[in-house]
Amino acid sequence: MKLRCAVLDDFQSVATEVADWGPVAGEVEVVCFSRHFESEDALAEALAGFEIVVTLRERVPFPGSLIARLPALRLLVASGMRNAAIDFEAAARHGVTVCGTASASTPPVELTWALLLGLARGIVPESAALRGGGPWQSTLGADLHGRRLGLLGLGKIGERVARVGLAFGMEVVAWSQNLTEERADAVGVGLAASKEELLRTSDFVSVHLALGERTRGLIGAPELALMRPTGYLVNTSRSAIVDQDALLAALREGTIAGAGLDVFDIEPLPADHPVRTAPRLLATPHLGYVSRENYATYYGQAVEDIRAFLDGRPVRVLG
């Protein structure tokens, strides 16, 4: 009898298209779920009887309480090699192997610039007006050349974002709690004296930090108040780094020029969530890592992880 494998949140219905599942087809039955399960109860019911689960990034939490309700589960595969949504100790206690995959840093870099450019040049309202018979030219674009780009975080993604900014002729500065002048110099950017100085002096601010105790709520109402009224904030990292209520208030009051978001406190967003109607906001439904090549890596390596597990030699084990 074949083992059963659940693929969660396959919204585009591409999990079995972008990768070859042939290596495990004789031993594994793959069932893809294109809808998101909102509660632990719904997940526990849907996943009952599945020995293998494939989940994307940190979209679906796997706390110990859920893992305990899945006695058949033997293998959990998560895209990426770091996942704060899985209780690894609980997985180990219940005999569940957790494996990861590679994940490219270029897709979120590209989406960051899509949001930043879209905000700066009013792409969405201008396109909507053109296609809907609205006014011809109604916005005044913000220049990038010669303006200051402030980066909160200068890791792999932040560095790539910085290099694009430099190519646009921007002045790029960065700050994080552990960022050194040597690291900033190596990338060719300035080291901001403080978070506050970066926010006060930047025309565009982009967040590229990992979520942790030191970064949760790093940007709240006091920090947003430091930004220029012509300034833009982009967050493609983690929602909890920026106080979402404070940001929505700043957008409604017009104390900043706009924001670009790809991450939210609740995902998928409920139909009545205030983000959906916020002014001065360009938002995308967590598309940072969603690209054909990245998905081919995720699901292709998920197949490799499953094959290795079936052969008794798990690879890319997490936790």
Cα gap 192→149, rounded to integer Å:
11
On whether the CB atoms of residues 154 and 176 are closer than 8 A, the answer is: yes
Tokens of 75: 């293998």
Residues facing 152 on adjacent strands: 175, 207
Q: What are phi and psi of 235, to 5 degrees?
A: -130, 110
Answer positive or negative: Cα dihedral of 206, 80, 266, 36: positive
- Mind telling me the catalytic residues? 238, 267, 286
CA distances from 201 to 41, 127, 141, 209, 217 (A): 47, 31, 19, 20, 21
Cα gap 173→228, rounded to integer Å:
16
